[in-house]
Amino acid sequence: MKKWLSNGLAVLLLSSSLSAGTVAYADNDPQPASTTEIHNVQNAPTKAPEFKDVANHWAKDAVDRWSSRGVVNGSSANKFEPNKQITRSEWVSLLNRTFQFQTNAEVIFTDVSSNKWYTQDVKTAAASGYIKGFEDGTFKPEAPITREEAAVTLASILKLSQGAGQAPTFKDQSQIAGWSQDQVAEVVQIGIMKGYSDQTFQPNKSLTRAEAVSVLDRAADVYGAWYGEAGTFGPKYGIQEEKGSVIINKTGVTLQNTDIAGDLIIGKGVGQGDVYLQNVTVHGNTYVYGGGEHSVHLDNVTMVKVIVNKKDGTVRLVAEGNSSIQEVTVNTGANLDVSKGVSVNKVTLTNELPQQSTVRLNGYFNTVNVEAFSIALHIPEGSIDNLNISDTATGTTVDTGKEASILSLVLNAAAKVIGLGSIDKATINSKDVSFEQAPKYVSLGDKVPSNVKVNIGNNDVEAGNINPPAAATAPSTGSTSVSSDSGSNSGSNSGSNSGSTNSGNNSGNQGNTDEGLLGPVSIESDVVTVGEAVYFTSPSNGIAYFASQQIPPDLNTLNLAVQSGEVLKKEVKAGERNFFLTSELNIQYPENEFRISLYEINSNSNYYYNSSVISVTDESSPLTQNPIIMEYGTEPEYFVLKYNRKIKLVPGKSTGDIVQVVLENGSVEPFTNALGTVEIDGTKVYIKPTDPSQLGKNFKFRVQADSIQTVTNNQEQNVEYTTGPMNLLVKIELVSPAVSNQAKVKIGDLIEFKVADGTTVYLVPEYVSGSQQTFDDIVTDGWGKKVDVLSAQANQTVSIPTDNLAPGKYYLLAWGGRAIYNIELVQ
């Protein structure tokens, strides 16, 4: 039973009898060392807190060890309270941290509310199966844990064989419950717990905090090895056999030349750090709960199953050398980098992956199964023999780099395949499938008719006609019988500050969009109430969709939302008056910003028209007192306060009475005609500065109370509302290449630009939108670049690199400001 001590020695502890009157399961006697093994410790372990009340306590070593490892905490900065009873909720919290249990399963107890510190730990413990509640549906989280309850939990975690124990019979054997007798015998036999000097076990006695840590210490030794300090472990030569399992819970650990009979856990304590495994064999499962974007390094490892389940952020696994991994199960965002020569038989992206997660597979894989809904799978380079998109994986985007190849792709759900990678064969088994580049050969599955349409390079083609008969047998030349034109322009800017959005740069249009060709959809009113119809006239034949602004206007997403009732759809004819009934939408109002999107099929081109924003108001709801403020990036910029009801001026008021401006020096001024205009239209108050720079760098708008009121429903009036600090959108100017339309940049060249203020500038693919964390993740994953521009560099030429990026269309975004679109990176 190994115990990793803070001085780097692994000491084999021997059992010894304890003096009369002491608690036999407490580690309160110094133990003779029979064997000593020196390890190369690269960094000193974390210093344990100085708990004054354990300075001379028999459990001091165990308390110091597990507090330095972050498993046990004191009741205050310098107080541990070793003799205080430990509760059932505190006990499972210790076990979860020690053995790294985590699960998403929902277990309900009537006495465990949702807002307690221990709620998640209790659910995790019950879902993991090592502890149960009571017959009345309670858990009793604040009741003390008894010795027999503790024995049962530890026997379950350590998978001890029930009924095999040969422990001595205690004088109070009859007091040990039938449900715990086998487990008590087991934990006593292997020395985790012992009886008292009077030959009793006292099964109903409560554990103290010190006793709990001592029992935990011994249980961890039985479990296997627990590495809580940075360093190199395992012999320099030969193979060390670990008959149990191994937990690594600290960054900077290198484990080498080790054969693990049980499981290997990369614990949550690794955080964003690195772990190195060199010449390690794991016969059980490998669980990855920690590790950063720089990596869990696997060099010459042999593993049966790797399960990635890091709850906070993306973890990167790098497999090198002669590594062999049978299966990788991905439950959370991950990057897998697999060198040539490494064998990875199967990768499964499970349905536990959150929607819009990103997974990157870089290298060589045999079979990849995608089960998760609406995720992004990036394949920068390497090859996948078999990629299967299951029928649960609707909304999947597969992004392939130029150096990536897929031998066989099976699509059982609506999915999008973009990028310049090659696909030898694609089997279509679902409608609403699209490709940027045509596969070399396409076949139909048995779930779709022969005339199902597949979108290739923005052209809808019947799948049965994609490959002429000769194409299946002709030598591969890297081209197909279907032309491909990736003329999309789907970038959107979510980068403006203070919760505002910048809609002045790009409308999010997709396909060969040209509203000037036939004109946009014409609507009769941009404000309607729930239950009313939205009347419109289409400029051409096509399919019209009525959808919330929050739903992306791509066909796959829209058609999915039609099935759920969140979007309305109808076929329309040019020049005819049509309508959508707002009452038919399966949504919760007052989500009130909508649009009509028209998709027209004309001469094998896909045109998309976006109408003006339509506000749908619920007149039965109260007037919101905190309007949404949006910033519009036109010249000059203007601002909009959006309410959830139709509004008008209070009688006797003028628009000059509505808004005040709080300048950066703190002074409050009316928003007079000298500063600009204030207008009311439908549900909105428009604030339009004549010269926005007069407002300074930081300013606020204050809406005066009782200046506006609702049109109907008792004519409710507003209260005073002050916006958060506002900043004008940061302007950005392209210096090189100096073009106004579309900039083509060779990968590896620099893009030069100027910004009007200090900010972070991103170069990302045009489909990227979301929070700043989303943009940072894209950069970290190698799909974009960023540069921090200091205030002192304002209006000076700054460059951003393009090396190692994939070819395609990008945009340059000044966070909190404007963007430059139509930047194409080429080889």
Whether 690 is covered by a domain: the verdict is yes
- If one counts every other C-beta atom within 10 angstroms of the C-beta of residue 589, the result is 15
**Can you give the CATH number for the domain in which 702 is found?**
2.60.40
d(C-alpha 704, C-alpha 650), whole Å: 11
Same domain membership, residue 591 and residue 665: no
pLDDT of residue 475 exceeding 50: no
Same domain membership, residue 416 and residue 332: yes
Return the closest-CA partner of residue 111 out of 89, 81, 138. 138
pLDDT of residue 519 exceeding 50: yes
Higher pLDDT: 816 or 676? It is 676
Q: 634 Cβ partners below 8 Å, 6+ apart?
A: 504
Same domain membership, residue 431 and residue 307: yes
Segments in 484-598 forming alpha helices (H): 515-518, 555-564
d(C-alpha 716, C-alpha 253), whole Å: 64
Q: Are 661 and 639 in contact (CB under 8 A)?
A: no
Give the per-residue pLDDT at 554.
67
Please classify residue 135 by burial: count the beta carbons closer than 10 Å to its beta carbon, then call 0-12 exposed, 13-18 middle and 19+ buried.
exposed
**Cis-peptide, bond into residue 737, ω within 30° of zero:** yes
Largest CA distance in the chain: 99
Same domain membership, residue 138 and residue 40: yes
Distances (CA, A) of 9 to 3, 5, 33, 36, 48: 8, 6, 10, 6, 17
Same domain membership, residue 422 and residue 287: yes
Q: Over the stretch 685-712, which tens digit does the pLDDT of each residue have?
A: 999 999 988 888 789 999 999 999 988 7
Q: Which amino acid is at 759?
A: T
Q: 516 Cβ partners below 8 Å, 6+ apart?
A: none
Whether 506 is covered by a domain: the verdict is no
Q: Is the pTM of this model over 0.85?
A: no
Mean pLDDT, residues 218-235 taken together? 89
Mean pLDDT, residues 446-460 taken together? 83
Per the structure, the complete domain to which residue 575 belongs is given by: 515-612
Same domain membership, residue 449 and residue 526: no
Same domain membership, residue 459 and residue 536: no
Whether 507 is covered by a domain: the verdict is no
Same domain membership, residue 738 and residue 716: no
d(C-alpha 263, C-alpha 276), whole Å: 16
Tokens of 545: 């969709």
**Cis-peptide, bond into residue 636, ω within 30° of zero:** yes
Q: Are 270 and 249 in contact (CB under 8 A)?
A: yes
Q: Domain boundary at 612, 644, 661, which? A: 612
E strands present in 573-666: 577-581, 593-602, 605-610, 614-617, 628-632, 638-642, 647-649, 659-662
Domain tally, the chain: 5
Of the segments 186-200, 367-381, 435-449, 456-470, which one has the largest average pLDDT value? 367-381
pLDDT of residue 341 exceeding 50: yes
Higher pLDDT: 665 or 94? It is 94
Same domain membership, residue 453 and residue 376: yes
Residue 114 — very low, low, confident or very high, per pLDDT cuts 50/70/90?
A: confident
- Give the containing element (helix H, strand E) for 265: strand 264-266
Q: Over the stretch 159-218, which tens digit does the pLDDT of each residue have?
A: 886 554 555 688 999 999 989 988 998 899 888 988 888 889 999 999 999 899 999 988
Whether 380 is covered by a domain: the verdict is yes
- The two beta strands, 453-456 and 577-581, are unpaired
Whether 478 is covered by a domain: the verdict is no
Q: Are 137 and 109 in contact (CB under 8 A)?
A: yes
Q: Domain boundary at 612, 636, 651, which? A: 612
Q: Are 123 and 106 in contact (CB under 8 A)?
A: yes
Of the segments 133-142, 483-492, 599-608, which one has the largest average pLDDT value? 133-142
Mean pLDDT across the chain:
80
- If one counts every other C-beta atom within 10 angstroms of the C-beta of residue 20, the result is 8
Share of the chain above pLDDT 90, in %: 33
Whether 88 is covered by a domain: the verdict is yes
d(C-alpha 16, C-alpha 191), whole Å: 10
Whether 460 is covered by a domain: the verdict is yes
Same domain membership, residue 674 and residue 531: no
Q: Domain boundary at 587, 612, 637, which? A: 612
Give the per-residue pLDDT at 104.
63
Same domain membership, residue 259 and residue 169: no
Same domain membership, residue 762 and residue 675: no
Whether 618 is covered by a domain: the verdict is no
Residue 107 — very low, low, confident or very high, per pLDDT cuts 50/70/90?
A: confident
